Structure 1
Amino acid sequence: MPVTADSARLEPETVRPAFDFDAQALIAFHDAYLQRGAPAEGTPRADTDIWRWIEENHRCNTALWGEEDRARRTDVPESEIVRCKRAIDRYNQRRNDAVEMLDQRLLAALDTTVPAPDARLSSETAGAMTDRLSILALKIHHMRLQTERDDADEAHLRRCCDKLSVLIEQRADLAGCLDRLLWEARCGAAVFKSYRQFKMYNDPTLNPELYRQRADSGREAQVDVLIPTCDRPGALAVTLTALFAQTRAPLRIVISDQGKRHKALGAEEVQAVLRLLGSRGHAVEVHRHLPRRGLAEQRDFLLRQARAPYVLFLDDDVVIEPDLVDRLLRTLREQGCGFVGSAVIGMSHAADDRPEQQAIEFWEGQVVPEAVQPDSPEWARHRLHSAANLYHVQTRLGLTRERQRLYKVAWVGGCVMFDTAKLRDAGGFGFWRRLPAEHCGEDVYAQLRVMARYGGCGIIPSGAFHQELPTTVARREVDAPRVLNLAEG
């Protein structure tokens, strides 16, 4: 039964709530999060769409607060301030995205309410008020900490106590305004609309500094795509076609061909895509690299050909979404870590949901170095990359390319972008001489060494998909991370 305009005259308990959400629950949620660094037991959790976006908004505001503080330091290199600015832009975008998603969910819950003909239009949405309450919670939390300092004088403590009282009063007033708007919206006495913010500074097609930079960047590739291939010309052609569709241009693509039955350059389907890549301005090099001395040596050969500041190691049976190279590059620059990976998803497993393998640990701040050893607790993270687990997680969390998250990894297979200098500094793939020709795990071992020095992460949504062909590595008895010492060069 729709709620009509007459409902505005009913007592509150007679009106069916459209959603489980009010200002006091919101304040309790915000404060508990700041006390514990995560939602506390007994507070609403992100198990509904509404509360999930409330948590995302508050998480981003909390991260923004820290980055804004760090950006004002004067005892750090300018590169650290640039990193802070990049992080501020990223969190600001996600914070605004969360407000918009929250408003959409609230309006969807109010869809059956029929507004009165004279219903007032609120110039501020419930989502925007929620965002303001989140910021006030942060101000109250940090001002209260100032009142508890034992290294400040009485005058400072007194001033902060006065400011704290004002902030508490301001939050109470705003909470009352939010409850009134929610109540009137349920009754049909008031309405609010969700407007997209259209943040222009983060959009490379709307920010003139960004699209001019792209136009003026010249033809020197910032990314070398390094592809090892062996006897799979059809799969290679598909992978190259995905590179042709990339929004980032130009790319320099280097292929190391070790095929015995099929030469990459001899396949018509590969030749066709190479012509397309050339027409787009991408430079392509195909090397016949024989004899075969193992995958580590083949990757070492590819890395020795690299000239760009960033290298994307891409397997010859992976399909990537059109903006993935740009997403990986942007993330790697923002984080300043050693590598960023997109784990490949096997879509034949789209109906094979494995919740027991879908634990995920998000990076809440900057990516930092981690030492991960085989069979350590962190090693179990690799299960997230089996089958279509990552696809199920990104779908369940409602993540999109515009709202990607970074997460902790043991390693990433198939599609990994490195900072070239950092990969080389960690030893690259020079360890190939200590392995027999038949081995596996060479990419894992290299990533573990880079991660221990510079950090590494995965992005979700991944944007990389496996063609699910049989492996070309038949013998896997020698697993590089298990037979080599991670501390060695």
Structure 2
Amino acid sequence: MITHTAKRIFERAVDDYHIKNDVDQPFKNPFDTDVDFLEHLLYRKAWIDTVQWHYEDIIRDPQIDPVAALKLKRQIDSSNQERTDMVEYIDSYFLKEYKDIEPNDNATINTESPAWALDRLSILTLKIYHMEEEANRQDASDDHKEACQKKLDILLEQRVDLCAAIDTLIIDIRNGDKYMKVYKQMKMYNDDELNPVLRNQNRNS
């Protein structure tokens, strides 16, 4: 099942990041593109999500320097674009993998592509990691730990359900009961021609 692989790699990426727990640490992908191409994409995807998770923590510091906050906001924008790009790379992998599958006459399309469903699993992996930290935090009150444990239990149940749904989707695609149709995200805010602020700045420069 695809989620067995994805879950293992997402957890590894999150654990690897937290060895240093530094948004500026160098990135090294342990999976070779020639041997483990999908694993390579999934690990990169999870790393981007993990760094961005911590960007979002940092920028919420009420004492953050405004100049540093602006720099970080742009890093978050760049990270969002990377995240979207990685999802599209993963979907391209699945499109190639199942390009010879002929959909059944009554085949239907899913509300989201396999890669966007895996994106949700990546984010859920981060939620579980950090909620487990909170449920076991030594300096937290018993009430805090108990509340976080209840949330963790729900997140773990959610992961079981999400993994089942993703695996079912892949099986349905393989069997021709579902078909893939991927739309590019077409984000506008980073595009010099589509974002009116950037467009006007370029024209005036």
Query: Partner residue of 1:106?
Result: 94
> 1:117 & 1:46 partners in 2: Cα distance?
38
> 1:87 & 1:155 partners in 2: Cα distance?
36
Can you list the C-alpha shifts for 1:76-114, whole angstroms capped at 9, x where unaligned?
210111111011001110110010111011111101111
Query: Partner residue of 2:3?
Result: 23
Query: Partner residue of 1:45?
Result: 31
The letter for the 2-side match of 1:45 is F
> 2:16 & 2:78 partners in 1: Cα distance?
24
Q: Among residues 138, 149, 158, which one is paired with 2:146 in the alignment?
A: 158
TM-score calculated relative to the size of structure 2: 0.89
Query: Partner residue of 1:382?
Result: none
Query: Partner residue of 2:60?
Result: 72
> 1:205 & 1:59 partners in 2: Cα distance?
30
Which consecutive residues of structure 1, in runs of 5 or more, have no partner in the other structure?
Answer: 1-20, 39-43, 218-489
Query: Partner residue of 1:211?
Result: 199
Q: Among residues 59, 69, 75, which one is paired with 1:81 in the alignment?
A: 69
Alignment of 1:26-425 (within 5 A): 26-37=6-17, 45-47=31-33, 48-217=36-205
> 2:44 & 2:8 partners in 1: Cα distance?
16
Can you list the C-alpha shifts for 1:116-154, whole angstroms capped at 9, x where unaligned?
010111121000011110000000001111011111111
> 1:123 & 1:213 partners in 2: Cα distance?
38
Higher helix share: 2
SS in 2 for 1:205: coil
Contact 1:115 1:190 in 2 (8 A): yes
Displacement of 1:49: 2.9
Contact 1:114 1:188 in 2 (8 A): yes
> 2:16 & 2:77 partners in 1: Cα distance?
25
Can you list the C-alpha shifts for 1:5-38, whole angstroms capped at 9, x where unaligned?
xxxxxxxxxxxxxxxx611221111112212229
Displacement of 1:59: 1.3
Equivalenced residues, count = 192
Highest Rg: 1 or 2? 1
The letter for the 1-side match of 2:5 is A
| Misfit runs of 4+, over 6 Å | none
Contact 1:123 1:192 in 2 (8 A): no
Contact 2:14 2:46 in 1 (8 A): no
The letter for the 2-side match of 1:37 is Y
Asked which structure has the greater RCO (Cα within 8 Å, sep 6+), the reply is 2
The letter for the 1-side match of 2:129 is H
Displacement of 1:46: 4.6
Query: Partner residue of 1:409?
Result: none
Contact 2:31 2:37 in 1 (8 A): no
Which consecutive residues of structure 2, in runs of 5 or more, have no partner in the other structure?
Answer: 19-29
Higher strand share: 1
TM-score calculated relative to the size of structure 1: 0.38
